[in-house]
Amino acid sequence: MTANAIAKNTFPETTKDLQSYQWHTLSEQQVLQILASHPQTGLTHAEADMRHQQMGPNQLTAKGGKSPWLRFLEQFNEPLLYILLAAGVVTLLLQDWIDAGVIFAVILINVTIGYIQESKAEDAISALSAVVTTEATVIREGEKTRLASTELVPGDLVQLASGDKVPADLRLLSLRELQVDESALTGESVAVEKATLLLEMETPLAERSNMAYAGSLVTYGQGEGIVVAIADATETGRISQLLESSTGLKTPLTRKIDKFSKTLLYAVLGLAALTFAVGLGQGGSWINVFKAAVALVVSAIPEGLPAIVTVTLAIGVSRMARRHAIIRKLPAVEALGSTTVICSDKTGTLTENQMTVQAIYTGNQNYTVNGIGYAPDGEILMGQQLVDLNADGHAALRECLEAGLLCNDSHIEWQNEQWSVVGTPTEGALIAVAQKARLTPATLEQEMPRIDTIPFESQHQYMATLHELDAKRRLNVIYIKGSVEAILQRADRMLDTQGQLAPLNAAVVEQEVKHMAQQGLRVLAFARKEVAAKQQSLAHTDIEDSLVFLGIQGMIDPPRSEAIAAIRACQEAGVQVKMITGDHALTALAIARQIGICSAQEKVFTGQQLAQMDEQELAQAAEQSMVFARVAPEQKLRLVKALQSKGEIVAMTGDGVNDAPALKQADIGVAMGIAGSDVAKESADMLLTDDNFASIEAAVEEGRAVYLNLRKAIAFMLPINVGESMTILIAILLATVLPILPLQILWLNMVSSVALIAPLAFEPKSGQVMQQPPRNPNEKLLSGSLLQRILAISVFNWLVIFGMFQWVLQTTGNEALARTMAINGLVVAEVFYLLSITQFLPSLVARIQGKRTRIAYAPAIGIVAVVILQCLFSQWSIMNQFFDTTPLTLTQAFICVGIGLPVVFIALILQHFDPLN
């Protein structure tokens, strides 16, 4: 019966039907029959589509979030709002309906704004998590393809390799040294070695060695399994455990803000108590004294500070996403601004990740190859002569090319109007060069079908495949490809031009390797070994010695032009860029020199040298050198620790399963979104959706801009509150009339928070952001220079309010007019100060000068809104009655403008000592 016929008759209709089977107790044939799938070709595309429609996507149902009402009520859980609520209640009990109503209105407005901003921030971060998708290697209709894990259906054949996340519950059919980390599901910290043996019904979950469960991580080896459960029907779904890391809104900075808010709470309560005591001591009525204390409390509270911090971070995350950097853990936004060292891999990050073989040495002869990329167009030349593999004298070349073609798990195909590789770029280059010599992969694979494989593992530095060679001679052949060091130490003979065995001269080969590496070529070596036909499996012991060396192929991955510019920008910003690669030292140095990381005289340390160093020597080497070659993934961890011991803030890139410890140890772990393994992605703080170094530089730039915007918000908001508080406190101590009433303070704070401070979150980065040294991560929230700025502007704001009020009061005797002009003078000062610290005027001037600069419109919009609101506040009769204000003449309005203008000169002086841009 065909697979399709079985599918029509036996395939279960629901996931519940599938859950009734004990898959670990069933044989391979039983599982395939139940799931109506084929052990070699898998499902047809039509059958897979039908099952996908029938059973839905392979994703867990998200847990229900907090209800909107609960999230809204949580906004009241702010220490600073507790005081306002208490003040509002007491004011209400005193039957001061207008003041109480405005206090509660301000609280409601502030809570609503916080709710909207936090909702947008959480939505933005949640949307980013959808970008981080898991892919799986699936066989459908006999073709290997990469699909999003959400597209998997029961019956799909899935291939697993080291570094993969298991995309669904699988019944394993075949494997090679497969080990899976199931700690997230079972709590077992040690990776489990898998097998295909049938198990008893009572076997506990943690011991079901013939199963691989969704969400677990492949740490070693290879395997193939059939999907038996997806989505909520998986073991992970059954216990409702979402394994994807969530990105919360709490970061070290927001925690600092929370701590600062609590400290401010105690300070405000202390000042309010002092005000109340002084007022009573001066003989004032307790009601008037209480109102004065309320005015002080209201003036001192920066209601919008927590909200502005949250929304600024969220906007920064969204901007980074647009520049191909996905933030998985929000604290990375802050750490990026402090980064002092970026440790980057070479291939695909600093280079194009499109390998092309350019030189071959085999049979004591040198060949050159033309053509670029993965296109099979090009020729192999010896000198100026075109090479024909069928001609005499190129037997060794044929063997070398065949080894690269057969010892290979990738293929190239025509996609989106270009040739691209499905697999690794290195293997794609080997296929392309073989096709340039008119070797056809399908034909060769049919002549010498693969029997077994040893997959590439970084600790071994080679891959090996076993093939049928000659049934009559009863021979099979092993092909090996890997690093030159790994192959030469196992080989003792080589092929000459006629394909005959000859003694191997390792020194000559190493000289050729050095010559290729000096040209920036990455070198791979190839070998073979004939074994008896009865050998049907492959082990590491089979290739420990007696290999026949076939040759080397040198390929290049050209540097990314944008990476060169990004490295220059990082260096100007005081951020060191270090290359850590598994390539040959000379190859690494050649590429590093091309992209500007170092000079030709740079000392390159190899992994072998690093292994012989103690911790102190390693720290010295890590600090001094810019290039590290032949580095094993586990040595990256030592390098990160060594740099951190020197006080560096380290960003580390990685893509392999063995990179995970280094990514976790680094201050910012950066995983490759395209080439990275799922283990690396899970361990990282940030993903690059384009695997491009330029995106790291862009993220550092945005991280710095976010922190500068937060400093601007703090530098703008706190002087308003401190200036108002000073006004109230001094007025009480001097026993004078309050220059500003509680209701008017609430108006000022809300207008300032909403209209003038909110635009600071949208500030674009300045041109100087990458021309400054990295920020000290231990810097206090209110650094010395920032405190000086806050104090200076606070004193000016106090002088504006107190001075304007006293002057107008003494000249006119009109308290309402004096307060109205004092408030407008302060608002004008705020507007001028905002213009002094934002990018609006510089960007406008640059545009007028003809430069292609984006104008920062947000501050202008905020200023226009404030002008309209203040006109209503001063000139509208209803507002006059409500806030005890009075209309201003044009002359009085110009006086307000004049008294606020000097803040510009103060801001320019402060900018010299404490630049905010």
Please give the Cα distance from 742 to 104 (Å, whole number).
13
Given a contact cutoff of 8 angstroms between Cβ atoms, the answer to whether 258 and 183 are in contact is no
Given a contact cutoff of 8 angstroms between Cβ atoms, the answer to whether 661 and 637 are in contact is yes
In 3D space, the residue among 611, 500, 605, 480 whose CA is nearest the CA of residue 552 turns out to be 480
Dihedral (C-alpha) 131, 136, 142, 143: value to the nearest 10 degrees? Answer: 50
Please give the Cα distance from 23 to 277 (Å, whole number).
77
Pair of tokens at residue 15: 């996931």
Q: How far is CA 131 from CA 125, 321, 322, in A?
A: 10, 9, 11
Using CB atoms within 10 A of its CB, is residue 830 exposed (0-12), middle (13-18) or buried (19+)?
buried
State which H helix or E strand residue 100 sits in: helix 97-129
Given a contact cutoff of 8 angstroms between Cβ atoms, the answer to whether 308 and 763 are in contact is no
Directed axis angle between helix 633-645 and helix 615-624, to 10°? 90
Phi, psi (rounded to 5 degrees) for 453: -145, 145
Between strands 365-369 and 356-362, the pairing is: antiparallel
Given a contact cutoff of 8 angstroms between Cβ atoms, the answer to whether 713 and 761 are in contact is yes
Three-state DSSP at 154 gives coil
Please give the Cα distance from 177 to 814 (Å, whole number).
90
At residue 199's C-alpha, the angle toward residues 193 and 205, to 5°, is: 65
Residue written as token pair 């740079």: 602
Please give the Cα distance from 51 to 38 (Å, whole number).
15
Using CB atoms within 10 A of its CB, is residue 817 exposed (0-12), middle (13-18) or buried (19+)?
buried
**CA 305 to centroid of chain Cα atoms:** 26
Pair of tokens at residue 300: 């001192």
Please give the Cα distance from 443 to 449 (Å, whole number).
10
**Letter string b/e over residues 194-213, b meaning 16 or more CB atoms within 10 A of that residue's CB:** bebeebeeebeeeebbbbbb
Q: What is the number of other CB atoms lying within 10 angstroms of the CB of residue 846?
A: 16
Residue 482, C-beta contacts closer than 8 angstroms, at least 6 positions apart: 456, 460, 461, 462, 463, 524, 525
Please give the Cα distance from 894 to 864 (Å, whole number).
17
Question: Which spans in 813-902 are helix H?
Answer: 815-837, 840-848, 858-875, 877-883, 890-900
Given a contact cutoff of 8 angstroms between Cβ atoms, the answer to whether 699 and 679 are in contact is no
Catalytic residues: 345
**Letter string b/e over residues 733-770, b meaning 16 or more CB atoms within 10 A of that residue's CB:** eeeeebbbbbbbbbbbbbbbbbbbbbbbbbbbbbeebb
**CA 492 to centroid of chain Cα atoms:** 47
Please give the Cα distance from 339 to 652 (Å, whole number).
10
467 bridge partner residues: 450, 477
In 3D space, the residue among 509, 345, 357 whose CA is nearest the CA of residue 421 turns out to be 357
State which H helix or E strand residue 278 sits in: helix 252-281
Pair of tokens at residue 431: 């296929």
Phi, psi (rounded to 5 degrees) for 823: -65, -45
